[in-house]
A and B are shown apart, each in its own frame.
Chain A
Amino acid sequence: MKNLNLILAGVFFTLAASFGGLLLSGQVQLGQLNRAPAEEGGPLFPAKEPGLAIQGRQVYISLGCVACHTQQVRPAGQGNDIARGWAARPSVARDYILQSQVLIGSHRLGPDLVNYGARVKSDDELHTYLRTSVAGSVMPAYGFLYTQSKDGSFRPTEDAVALVAYLKSLKIDYSSPEAKLKQ
């Protein structure tokens, strides 16, 4: 305990142990996940993201939406996420395998968005919400995503269109081998 290299080696051992035990073994289990059909012969899920949605994720990240919105629904025994109607089933690891950056988030000042695309009714509704917010909500209006034309109507910028495409692409309304939707 008096030698610098011994202490460093010991601390390295503690770090390497947790790295191996948590991350390498996690990699063995999660690193090979593929898309899977909900039932034999069916289409593969999660579905490939539309290109516009991939751009929209960059807007989502760049505006810092992850500070207030999570993208994970916990199982029924842990928290009231499903009871709140955010999704019909808990999110599972397979749902995320196509995402370049996983934004499961850790803080909720607003609703969970993992299944938002299945909840929102139309693009127009979403655009109006983004542009004006609603009274009493902590979420501000994102008016800078829209430009006003001469006749007073609002046109979404490219960012807004991409963001809406991304939000609409967020869906876990399919069964996965790990979590079936209840019929």
Chain B
Amino acid sequence: MSDSNNSRPAISGQVASWLGVIAFVAVAIAVIAYAYLAFRSHDGVDADRRVAQKALRADLESKAKGKLTDSGRNADGTYHIPVDAAVALIAAKPEILAKLRQPSTNGGEAPPAPVFTNGNK
């Protein structure tokens, strides 16, 4: 049958082939796993961008808050501020826009929502 095998150092030969197959499988796994991890690391870039955006927003918000001064306060409790400051404020806290659209229920006292005083609604 396979007597030809006996002339060779058979054990090491078989085990060597076995190790070769394992190496092939390992390389295959490594290639696919590397592809996944490389694609996944884009999430990291995205997370960095989110962190940067968050910092920017906090910065804008603190600046915009500084613009709500008593000298700009209307009689009904709302504020009038320059348009570019209002834009910055909305950019920092988009949910203000939603509050703006709701009719104010308690005399406009509680939320200090910025209202434009230059005729725009």
Contacts and interface: CB of A to CB of B under 8 A. Distances in A.
Interface of A: 4-5, 8, 12, 15-16, 19-20, 23-24, 27-28, 31-32, 34, 37, 39-43
Given A8-B24, A16-B32, A43 B39 contact: no
Contacts of A28: 39
Interface in B36-60: 36, 39-40, 42-43, 46, 50
Interface of B: 21, 24, 28, 31-32, 35-36, 39-40, 42-43, 46, 50, 94-98
Contacts of A41: 94-98
Dominant secondary structure of chain A at its interface with chain B: helix
B35 A31 contact: no
A31 B39 contact: yes
Contacts of A5: 24
A20 B34 CA distance: 12
28 contacts: A4-B21, A5-B24, A8-B21, A8-B24, A8-B28, A12-B28, A15-B28, A15-B32, A16-B32, A19-B35, A20-B35, A24-B39, A27-B36, A27-B39, A27-B40, A31-B40, A31-B43, A32-B42, A32-B46, A37-B94, A39-B98, A40-B94, A41-B95, A41-B96, A41-B97, A41-B98, A42-B95, A43-B95
Given A5-B24, A12-B28, A16-B31, A42 B98 contact: yes
Contact of B42 (A15, A16, A31, A40): A31
Dominant secondary structure of chain B at its interface with chain A: helix
Given A4-B21, A41-B98, A43-B95, 5 more contacts: A24-B39, A27-B36, A27-B39, A27-B40, A39-B98
B46 to A, nearest CB: 6
Contacts of A39: 98
A136 to B, nearest CB: 47
A19 B43 contact: no
Contacts of A40: 94, 97-98
B18 to A, nearest CB: 12
A101 to B, nearest CB: 17
B48 to A, nearest CB: 13
A24 B36 contact: yes
Nearest to A27: B39
